[in-house]
């Protein structure tokens, strides 16, 4: 394809579809969270919204110099639940606040400088460099990696599940009940600027 991912279908955030989308999309993250293997994301082009959440959730991220990262959901009147949960732990509170609250898009170099990704390579070298990047992990004990990942997760402030459930509740029962969330999504689908009501 042209890019890693520009996120999920905006129409899936509207009405009754929102809870189904959250359940399905977050199911993927719950599955990844339970994996003992190292997860690797190899990114080129746009890596936005749900795509950025997916990439960020991986243990290791390598990108080519065409990659652009961002969480533009706020510009549509919604929030990125996975990013809200994991980005502050990965890049720190201030950088996460900046990216999530502004919705701005950053280059691969800026993403690497802030710790969102591990490595940037030249366009055209991504596949070869990804293979080279992951080679050391492939020679290690899968069981030792599994146990070490478990220990690293235990060292974090809290597990994914309790905080993700709170974030999902905020998303579905507070955010999706605001007029502005519906206006932002509808405006995007109608290809017009949103008219915020601040409610």
Specify if 20 maps to a domain: yes
Specify if 199 maps to a domain: no
Q: Which of 23, 73, 110, 174 is catalytic?
A: 73
Residue 73 among the catalytic residues: yes
Q: Which domain holds residue 95?
A: 10-190
Return d(Cα 58, Cα 42) in angstroms, integer.
Answer: 10
Specify if 67 maps to a domain: yes
Token representation of residue 124:
């055209």
Token representation of residue 80:
């990125």
Specify if 197 maps to a domain: no
Return d(Cα 134, Cα 71) in angstroms, integer.
Answer: 26
Return d(Cα 36, Cα 75) in angstroms, integer.
Answer: 35
Share of the chain above pLDDT 90, in %: 56
Domain at 53, CATH number: 3.90.226.10
Return d(Cα 93, Cα 87) in angstroms, integer.
Answer: 8
pLDDT at 8: 64
Specify if 3 maps to a domain: no
Q: What is the pTM of this model?
A: 0.83
Return d(Cα 24, Cα 53) in angstroms, integer.
Answer: 14
Specify if 2 maps to a domain: no
Which residues have a Cβ under 8 Å from the Cβ of 124 and sit 6 or more positions away? 64
Q: Which of 53, 129, 174, 183 is catalytic?
A: 53
Specify if 198 maps to a domain: no
Q: What is the DSSP string of 176-189?
A: GGSHHHHHHHHHHH
Tally of domains in the chain: 1
Specify if 116 maps to a domain: yes
Residue 168 among the catalytic residues: no
Q: What is the pLDDT of residues 111-148, one digit of tens each?
A: 999 999 999 999 999 999 999 999 999 988 888 888 88
């Amino acid at each position: 394809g042209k890019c890693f991912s520009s996120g999920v279908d905006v129409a899936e955030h509207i009405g009754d579809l929102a809870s189904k989308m959250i359940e399905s999309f977050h199911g993927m993250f719950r599955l990844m969270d339970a994996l003992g293997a190292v997860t690797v994301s190899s990114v080129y082009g746009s890596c936005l919204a749900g795509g950025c959440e997916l990439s960020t959730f991986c243990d290791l991220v390598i990108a080519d110099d065409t990659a652009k990262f961002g969480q533009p959901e706020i510009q549509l009147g919604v929030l990125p639940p996975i990013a809200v949960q994991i980005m502050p732990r990965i890049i720190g509170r201030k950088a996460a606040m900046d990216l999530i609250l502004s919705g701005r898009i950053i280059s691969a170099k800026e993403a690497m400088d802030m710790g969102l990704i591990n490595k940037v390579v030249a366009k055209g070298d991504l596949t070869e460099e990804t293979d080279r990047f992951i080679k050391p992990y492939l020679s290690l004990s899968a069981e030792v990696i599994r146990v070490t990942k478990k220990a690293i997760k235990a060292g974090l402030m809290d597990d994914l599940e309790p905080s993700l459930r709170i974030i999902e509740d905020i998303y579905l029962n507070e955010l999706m009940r605001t007029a502005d969330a519906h206006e932002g999504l509808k405006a995007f689908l109608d290809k017009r600027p949103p008219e915020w009501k601040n409610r």
